[in-house]
């Protein structure tokens, strides 16, 4: 039988895991963005090179996409943790949130003329 102490230990472990994901994920995304900005500055100082500009743009895009994707990854990880803990009610809620996010992404990428008001 689970004691309140065991439940508290599991909750703290889950919180540490999710906090680490957000902390280190944001740090990695910021490093990508800083690298892209540095390369962009270098492209302005150095002789014109399309390759350097393209690389800086790619680094910036990786950083921004990483920052945007972090909350979605967190919801997916939360759903997986709840499934592992056999807490199916909260796993279903997290799964529903993922479905809503996916629906928003799909509807956001469709052309506006396909959506009937």
* Cα 64 to chain centroid, rounded: 10
Q: What total of structural domains would you count in the chain?
A: 1
In this prediction, residue 114 has a pLDDT band, given cuts at 50, 70 and 90, of low
Torsion on CA atoms 106, 109, 115, 117, rounded to nearest 10: 90
Q: What residue numbers bound the domain in which 96 lies?
A: 4-114
Lowest mean pLDDT among 25-29, 30-34, 66-70, 108-112: 108-112
Provide the pLDDT for residue 51.
67
The pLDDT tens digits of the residues spanning 1-14 come to 567 777 788 888 88
Instruction: Break the chain down into helix, strand, coil percent, rounded to 5.
Output: 85, 0, 15
- Rounded alpha-carbon distances, angstroms, from residue 30 to 13, 39, 48, 85, 103: 26, 14, 26, 32, 28
């Amino acid at each position: 039988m689970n004691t309140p102490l065991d439940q508290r230990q599991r909750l703290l472990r889950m919180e540490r895991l999710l906090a680490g994901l957000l902390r280190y994920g944001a740090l990695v995304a910021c490093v990508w963005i800083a690298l892209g900005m540095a390369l962009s500055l270098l492209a302005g100082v150095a002789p014109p090179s399309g390759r350097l500009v393209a690389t800086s743009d790619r680094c910036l895009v990786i950083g921004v996409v990483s920052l945007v994707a972090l909350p979605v990854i967190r919801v997916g990880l939360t759903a997986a943790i709840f499934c592992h803990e056999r807490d199916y009610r909260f796993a279903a809620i997290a799964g529903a949130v993922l479905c809503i996010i996916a629906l928003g992404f799909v509807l956001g990428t469709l052309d506006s003329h396909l959506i009937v008001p």
